[in-house]
Amino acid sequence: MKKHLISLSVVAALGMSTLATTVNAAGFKPAPAAGNLGAMLVNPYGNSPLTAILDLGGKFPTDVKVEVQGKGKNGVAIRYPVGPQTINTYDGIPVFGLYANFQNTVTVSYQLQGKPVSETYQVLTGAISNDYLDNRNITAMQEVKVKTVAKGFEDRLYMVNSHTYNQQGSDIHWAGEKGKSADMFQSSPAKGALPFENPPMTYVVDTQGEVRWWLNQDAVYNAADIDINKRGYLMGFHDTGHGGYSFVQGQRYGSFTLLGNVNSRRLPRGYIDASHEHNLMPNGHSLVRAAKSNYVNQQGDLVHTVRDHILELDKDGNLVDVWVLPQILDPYRDALLEALDMGAVCLNVDMDHQGETAEMKIDAPYGDIPGVGAGRNWAHVNSVDYDPADDSIIVSLRHQGVMKIGRDKQVKWILSPSEGWNKALAPKLLTPVNHKGKAISCTPKGKCEQGFDFTYTQHTAWLNRDKHRLTVFDNGDGRGLEQPALPSMKYSRFVEYKIDEAKGTVEQTWSYGKDRGYEWYSPITSNVEYRKDHNTIFGFGGSINLYSPGERTVGKINEIDYDTKKVKVEIDVLSDKPNTPHYRALIVNPTSQFGQ
């Protein structure tokens, strides 16, 4: 076994490489390689300081495997194979999962010219930092507390998609909000959702609570720059299936790799304010939730809409199709809107209005506020999934319900209490049934018998393709289309439904969370999905404790055994500032990222 010392300070001094160079008559000549291959390059793209690339040094290794050894007695070792496509892409071997401010031990094994080789490197990293501190900070970085990790789950890695509060978002607005389309440029405050932003905190934690990956905030964001291309919320992550993660942020959408290579492009002309979701279709097209600028609504006003358009974009950025939800659905349905807690409407948090509800008025101001009509936050789409079985999309509208919409822009079904739907859409409502297929009695507000419950202000209505069922994070605000007598009566759930589209029925097949009550209640954000590898429901309650004044908000990572409902994993991440929600979390599999 050969050991080699690679220092981050050397990397910084040389600008992106540990290869020392000298100039002679023959030109530049690299120093001798550290091992059989080339040098270990820490933070190769300048955005991901807990990663490195082992340069090939002109060689062609095969059967490559990497192990980043755990720190201390109980440290989590990260092991993964590296496939030929990945090696070609990086012209090297990616090293992922280094500890911050630590001399890491990394073993790389491979075949070289038919002979096995194993090399051990000592890789030194520096500290990571949050660049957005102010007098509201309780901690400089978000704190991780491990509660439960069952046997067999020790090697799990979780990416946390979070943010830190920043007061600078209000310094950018869309100019010249429009009035009636006849007098296009009235002088009135700008609308849309452009100021919807905060600095990202994006990292991976292991089951010991150690941070094993960090995306530098300035890779995508810069609060000091008026350029809207680096403003917004970094969110909507999905594993692309080919070595990266999708994202949206304000006026851009794109992807990043764990090595920190970021690629993005502007939204097509005429579309603005992307957030919440960038999901991928099997053909590689992107489904992006955005909004429309200069849209003429049913009242004849020219507005910027808010979170109510779904764009299908090909790999070159061409706009293939658009789902215009104000035309497909009813933007004037207010059954849930008038039951919402105005203290938090997704990531727009206003503690001064906690517990209050509001009347939805047709002549209310336009903008990023709960309200009816295009130009207000009537829909609040927070997830989009694609069903290849019938070329349709499934959308979660926080303020309306969950529905499936075809390529022909016709609604196939709606999962929601029946109150407030117009005559055209009411026939699309799914009928709740029990496990025997018998109809369950429900009130128009959604109070049902036999344990069935609808979702309220839900997030991530995603298909479980292994079971062909729908998993949803049921946040639970406005449950029963009302506010409860006491806030402590609220609860959230992980829930699964089986939908029979031919019969127009829905059966609740699994749920978890009601019994954990208010201490597990996550009023906004959050996500849930089924994991086949461990037969668990994995989820993240991103806003627990949000309404406790002056206290840090808890993002709770859970894996729940599907059969027994026992907690297999529970890890809390705490916000660095009080009353600041997290967004989502997802499981990271290095093999799927690097094994191709």
Q: Which residues neighbour 318 within 8 Å (Cβ) at sequence distance 6 or greater?
A: none
User: Helix or strand or coil: residue 519?
Assistant: helix
484: phi then psi, degrees, rounded to nearest 5 = -70, 170
Separation of alpha carbons 418 and 260, rounded Å: 46
How do 27-30 and 392-397 pair as beta strands? Answer: unpaired
Separation of alpha carbons 94 and 41, rounded Å: 9
Joined tokens for residue 223: 């609060």
- State yes or no: is 4 an active-site residue: no
How many angstroms separate the first and last alpha carbons of the chain? Answer: 27
Counting Cα atoms < 13 Å in the Cβ hemisphere of 108 gives: 30
Q: How many CB atoms lie within 10 A of CB 295?
A: 20
326: left (phi over 0), alpha (psi -120 to 50) or beta: alpha
Question: Do 432 and 439 meet the contact criterion of CB atoms below 8 Å apart?
Answer: yes
Task: Describe the strand order of the beta sheet including 459-464 as a list of residue ranges.
Answer: 431-433, 505-512, 493-500, 469-474, 459-464
Q: Which of 582, 549, 555 is nearest to 136 (CA)?
A: 549
E-only strand ranges, 138-226: 143-149, 157-163, 200-206, 211-215
Which of the residues 285, 459, 468, 582 is marked catalytic?
Answer: 459
Q: How many CB atoms lie within 10 A of CB 459?
A: 30
Q: Which of 421, 325, 333, 401 is nearest to 370 (CA)?
A: 333
Question: Do 547 and 522 meet the contact criterion of CB atoms below 8 Å apart?
Answer: no
Separation of alpha carbons 341 and 352, rounded Å: 11
Joined tokens for residue 339: 């039951």
Separation of alpha carbons 546 and 581, rounded Å: 7
Question: Do 200 and 275 meet the contact criterion of CB atoms below 8 Å apart?
Answer: no
Q: Where are the alpha helices (DSSP H) in 45-193?
A: 84-90
Cα dihedral 289/343/171/459 (nearest 10) = -20
3-state secondary structure string across 281-295 = CCCCCEEEEEEECCE
Separation of alpha carbons 313 and 322, rounded Å: 9
**Which positions are catalytic?**
459
